[in-house]
Amino acid sequence: MSGAEATPATLYGLKNCDTCRKARKWLDRFGVAHAFVDYRDEKPSPDTLVEWAGTLGGFEAMVNKSSTTWRELPAHRKAPGSEAEWKLLLREYPQLVRRPVVVTADGRVTQGFSDNGFKQRFGIAG
């Protein structure tokens, strides 16, 4: 059994996001079992956001600060002073989370997509 078959994945992102579509096509092409969750439709729980932040290097690291949504936020919203404020911000604006967030059955959480990164992540040779 290859690593891809042994490690089903869940991708969290937005269905209209080009990067998420590329990641899903990549997983299909390499036969990696996965589910997709649009986090606008199914917002991650506050506990899930905290877990992701802990794994990904904090809330700051999770946010795409080059996004239009981030740039259009009022200045006071761009500097959450507490975990509670970050959770509120990311539940209100889930599109701020860099995507996709990939969670595998072993509990590992990563963010983003690249061909080489996914090959390494899912144990695909080549």
Which positions are catalytic?
17
**Calpha distance 20→46 (Å, rounded):** 22
Instruction: State whether the Cα torsion 114-121-123-10 is positive or negative.
Output: negative
Taking phi over 0 as left and psi of -120 to 50 as alpha, with beta for the rest, 111 belongs to beta
**Calpha distance 88→125 (Å, rounded):** 40
- Retrieve residue 122's tokens: 């899912």
Q: How far from chain centre, in Å, is Cα 78?
A: 20
